[in-house]
């Protein structure tokens, strides 16, 4: 059964339903892949400003930031504003940039990952302001950039470069109204084999770098089968995701091959242990293993650089942040929410994984629909999520401040 406070929050969110949906549809209608988010950021900045938050600005990377209140206990509610591309447009049953509203569902690229969280958090904050922000609390909202390219970098920048260090973080990646408290980490690496080119008619004079990669691929497949497993986070994994070959022509022996790897890290696995496993592959021979680096320029012209290692993180289930977020959800939903974890990676790799700031996730949307042509979210879940986001700071002020 919903609490009286939950009923009131839900009623307030229902009063904002049309505006929440319009905001979400407007964001979907603006293409915004990583480093090209400017127009969507401007749309969010305008909404934050119209909602009357105490402060609204862009950080130097391009993230849209809003502040409510000025108390010593601070909560950061983050949602990334960039989305992946649409792939083959003909594979979609709907226009990915229409933000189609039909039968109580909003469709399109970003309708799960993860524009609903931005809309719900914004209106949850406005509902909280109308009800009265608890004394001693500051709520920060961030619509962060470049997450799809390099998850966590935007948070490291906001916290370490811009000086906004919260006491707790709520991520609005899709959780289907559950409370998520961690996920596996990951890294991106390459294995490079080097050969010697020769004309295809005289292949015996060359050394084929592509052939040298063949047994290494089998080693990778075998390694995946014996990686560690954790009861909560699941199993570590490794995927050979792309193979790039250098050859003078299609009639020549390739002299270089680069294999790209996606390595998911479960509890107890680190960048050091994962790279050591790769360097111990039985058929590695003289091939080299390297951790990839990210380097890109944000829409505001700031250069971002980071190694492509994203730590595993888990917040204990009895932590006040988990309990408080779950309590807020229960007051609105009338039931205890599921406590679980994401399968993919989020900005929590920075906030909790690198910086140790307690972090949870809560938002509408089903994770398995992310990055698919079936991205959609239920309007009723948008309304419930906005109501719950309006309660989270109030409850956390009691649980954690």
Q: Which residues are catalytic?
A: 82, 147
State the first-to-last Cα distance of the chain, in angstroms, to the nearest integer.
27
In 148-270 the beta strands, taken as DSSP E runs, fall at 168-171, 179-180, 182-183, 185-194, 229-230, 234-235, 237-246, 256-265
Q: What CA–CA distance (Å, rounded) separates 330 from 315?
A: 20
Distance of CA 278 to the CA centre of its chain: 26
At 259, phi and psi to the nearest 5? -100, 125
Residues 6+ apart with CB under 8 A from 347: 78, 80, 144, 147, 151, 152, 154, 155, 171, 173
Helix 17-28 × helix 4-15 angle, to 10°: 60
Give, in degrees to the nearest 5, the angle at Cα 363 between 298 and 234.
90
Q: For 165-199, b where at least 16 C-beta lie within 10 A, e where not — what string?
A: ebbbbbbbbbbbbbbbbbbbbbbbbbbbbbbebbe
Q: What CA–CA distance (Å, rounded) separates 372 from 386?
A: 24
Q: What CA–CA distance (Å, rounded) separates 63 from 51?
A: 18
Distance of CA 176 to the CA centre of its chain: 15
Q: Is the dihedral of CA 109, 94, 27, 386 positive or negative?
A: negative
Is the separation of the CB atoms in 187 and 395 below 8 Å? Answer: no
DSSP state string for 296-363: EE-TTS-EEEEESEE--EE--TTSHHHHHHHHHHHHHHSSPPPEE--SS--THHHHTTTT---EEE--
Q: Could you tell me the two tokens for 252?
A: 């020549």
């Amino acid at each position: 059964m919903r609490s009286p406070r939950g009923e009131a929050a839900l009623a307030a969110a229902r009063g904002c339903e049309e505006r929440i949906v319009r905001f979400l549809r407007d964001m979907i209608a603006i293409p915004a892949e990583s480093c090209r988010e400017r127009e969507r950021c401007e749309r969010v900045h305008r909404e934050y400003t119209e909602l009357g938050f105490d402060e609204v600005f862009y950080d130097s990377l391009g993230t849209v930031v809003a502040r409510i209140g000025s108390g010593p206990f601070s909560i950061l509610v983050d949602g990334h504003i960039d989305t992946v591309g649409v792939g083959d447009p003909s594979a979609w049953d709907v226009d990915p940039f229409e933000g189609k509203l039909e039968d109580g569902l909003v469709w399109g690229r970003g309708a799960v990952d993860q524009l609903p969280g931005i809309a719900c958090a914004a209106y949850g904050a406005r509902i909280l302001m109308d009800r009265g922000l608890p004394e001693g609390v500051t709520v920060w909202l961030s619509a962060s950039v470049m997450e799809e390219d390099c998850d966590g970098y935007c948070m490291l920048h906001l916290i370490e470069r811009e000086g906004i260090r919260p006491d707790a973080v709520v991520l609005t990646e899709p959780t289907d109204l559950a409370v998520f408290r961690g996920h596996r980490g990951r890294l991106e690496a390459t294995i490079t084999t080097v050969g010697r080119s020769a004309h295809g008619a005289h292949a015996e004079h060359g050394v084929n770098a592509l052939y040298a990669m063949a047994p290494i691929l089998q080693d990778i497949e075998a390694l995946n089968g014996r990686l560690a497993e954790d009861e909560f986070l699941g199993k570590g994994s490794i995927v050979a995701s792309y193979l790039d070959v250098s050859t003078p022509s299609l009639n020549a022996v390739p002299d270089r091959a680069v294999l790209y790897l996606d390595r998911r890290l479960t509890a107890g696995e680190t960048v050091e242990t994962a790279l050591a496993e790769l360097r111990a592959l039985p058929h590695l021979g003289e091939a080299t293993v390297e951790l990839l680096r990210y380097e890109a320029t944000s829409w505001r012209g700031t250069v971002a650089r980071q190694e492509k290692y994203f730590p595993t993180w888990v917040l204990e289930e009895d932590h006040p942040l988990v309990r408080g977020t779950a309590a807020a959800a229960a007051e609105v939903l009338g039931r205890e929410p599921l406590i679980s974890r994401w399968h993919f990676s989020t900005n929590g790799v920075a906030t909790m994984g690198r910086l140790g700031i307690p972090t949870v996730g809560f938002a509408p949307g089903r994770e398995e629909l992310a990055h698919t042509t079936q991205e959609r979210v239920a309007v009723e879940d948008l309304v419930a999520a906005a109501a719950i986001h309006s309660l989270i700071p109030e409850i956390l002020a009691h649980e954690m401040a």
